[in-house]
A = this chain, B = another copy of it.
């Protein structure tokens, strides 16, 4: 099998979603799914994740239809990760009503040959020890992106910090950045994380956009202002996938490519929130993406 441009390691799940707009049951989701689907609009992706023996062929067929290499989508005895969440009227807040890690609980990623050769690697939110294990397996990719969450910052700070010097792009939200740096000012927090070893820090701010901190520059973008936010699930992972997909397609990792990639990520995220889970991506085309990219240029130029 030919090598993919991007490998993503993380979760594949089924989500039951309740938002002020309604409810959807058993939507194909999980961070790695959202990432892979978004990235697949730009470049070939290998998806490494465990699924249970309940994982339906139709879901795998959909991923294959997007050109995603599913040889790392490992079926294990047991159930696929399931999450049931309910968003508040203010969709920045949500409650987890039910969570069953299923086969994701015992996940130790094993990276196949095609996935190992991908120059762009994205380590979704898993135990930092497993993220380190993946990095041992893949050798020296051109660019390593890493996501984490408050749970791992609190419970596995040392292994996480030890990873940072091997990370080209840390992709976290404001709360996580503040927690990791133990600093409430976001700019200072990002500087501390850079000092811990990450080459760049990209802070996701949801409806407020994103900020990229590099050792000698800062780049800030607003989010796309949307009249309808149907379901925010997967927005951050779709953002990351759009960004990494664009980088992989352009074969670059410089500041200019990162900035343009962040705008593509913003554009992809603006689509995914228009319907439940990842539904909107099924009818999305590259032309829709380019059209909204041009709208984003018009939205921000002065």
Are A185 and B229 in contact, CB atoms less than 8 angstroms apart?
A: yes
Determine the chain B residues whose CB is within 8 A of the CB of A228 once the complex forms. Answer: 185
Instruction: Please measure, in the bound complex, the distance between the C-alpha atom of A28 and the C-alpha atom of B221, giving whole angstroms.
Output: 34
Are A302 and B208 in contact, CB atoms less than 8 angstroms apart?
A: no
Query: Which one of B184, B205, B208, B301 contacts A90 once the chains associate, using CB atoms below 8 Å?
Result: B184
Are A220 and B225 in contact, CB atoms less than 8 angstroms apart?
A: yes
Residues 157-185 of A at the B interface (beta carbon under 8 Å): 184-185
A205-B208, A263-B302, A300-B300 given; A187·B227 CB < 8 A: yes
- Work out how many copies of this chain go into the complex: 2
Residue of B nearest to A191 (CB): B227
Residues 247-302 of A at the B interface (beta carbon under 8 Å): 256, 259-260, 262-263, 298-302
Residues 228-246 of A at the B interface (beta carbon under 8 Å): 228-229
Query: Which one of B220, B227, B259 contacts A185 once the chains associate, using CB atoms below 8 Å?
Result: B227
Interface of A, secondary structure class, is mixed
Determine the chain B residues whose CB is within 8 A of the CB of A262 once the complex forms. Answer: 302
Most buried by B among A186, A260, A262, A263: A186
Whether A89 is near chain B, meaning CB under 8 Å from some CB there, is: yes
A-B contact pairs, 15 of them (CB 8 A): A90-B184, A185-B228, A186-B225, A188-B227, A205-B208, A208-B208, A209-B222, A218-B225, A218-B299, A220-B225, A220-B300, A222-B222, A259-B301, A260-B302, A262-B302
Using CB atoms and an 8 Å cutoff, list the residues of chain A in contact with chain B.
89-90, 184-188, 191, 205, 208-209, 211, 217-223, 225-229, 256, 259-260, 262-263, 298-302
Closest 10 CB pairs of A and B: A220-B222, A259-B302, A208-B208, A187-B227, A187-B225, A260-B302, A220-B299, A263-B302, A188-B227, A222-B222
